[in-house]
Amino acid sequence: GRAEEIDLGDWDRLMELNVTALFEMSRLAAREMMKKGYGKIINVASMLSFFGGLNCSPYAASKGAVAQLTKAFSNEWAGHGINVNAIAPGYMDTALNTTLMADQERYREITLRIPAHRWGQPEDLMGTVIYLASRASDYVSGAVIPIDGGYLGR
C-alpha cells in the first residue's frame, strides 16, 4: 500500500518478522556455529533490497535491512568460520504475489523488464541455496545474490 496509508502496527509486524526474527535467529545460530568453528547462514533478502519498489515501503525497508545485516554479520563472524550470505529473489510466481500478478498492466510491465521473459519459480532458488550451503562457497561471505532472471541488469 501507499506509505501514507500504512498502519504503524503493520509496519511493526513486518519489521518483527523480516528483521528482528532474522537478527535473533542468526545470533542463536552463530553462537552454536562458533563452538564448531564452521557454519553457513543463508538469509532471504529481495530485489527490493537494492531499490525501493512501489507501494511497498515497509517491505523494501525490511529487505534492505536483511541485506545490511547479512553484510554486518559476515564482518563479525567470517573470522569464526561462519559464512553469512543472502539470496535476493526477483519477481516470483508465488502466493505472496497473487495481487501483483492479477494487475495485468503491472504484471506486463514487470515481465517485459525480465530478460528471462518469465517470473521465477521457487525451484529457481535451489541451486544457489545448495551452493551457499556447500563447501564450494567457503570463501563467499557477505554476498547478496540476486536470483531474478536478469531483472537488475536491465
What percent of the chain is predicted at pLDDT more than 70? 100
CB 74 within 8 A of CB 84: yes
Give residues with Cβ within 8 angstroms of 154, minimum separation 6: 113, 114, 115
pLDDT 10s digits, 41-56? 999 999 999 998 888 8
Strand order of the β-sheet with 144-147 is: 39-44, 82-89, 144-147
SS3 86: strand
From its phi and psi, is residue 37 left (phi > 0), alpha (psi between -120 and 50) or beta? left
Residue type, 118: R
Q: Which residues are known to be catalytic?
A: 59
- Give pLDDT, residue 52: 87
What's the mean pLDDT in 8-19?
A: 96
Please report the domains of the chain, with CATH numbers, ordered by start residue: 3-153 (3.40.50.720)
- Give pLDDT, residue 12: 96
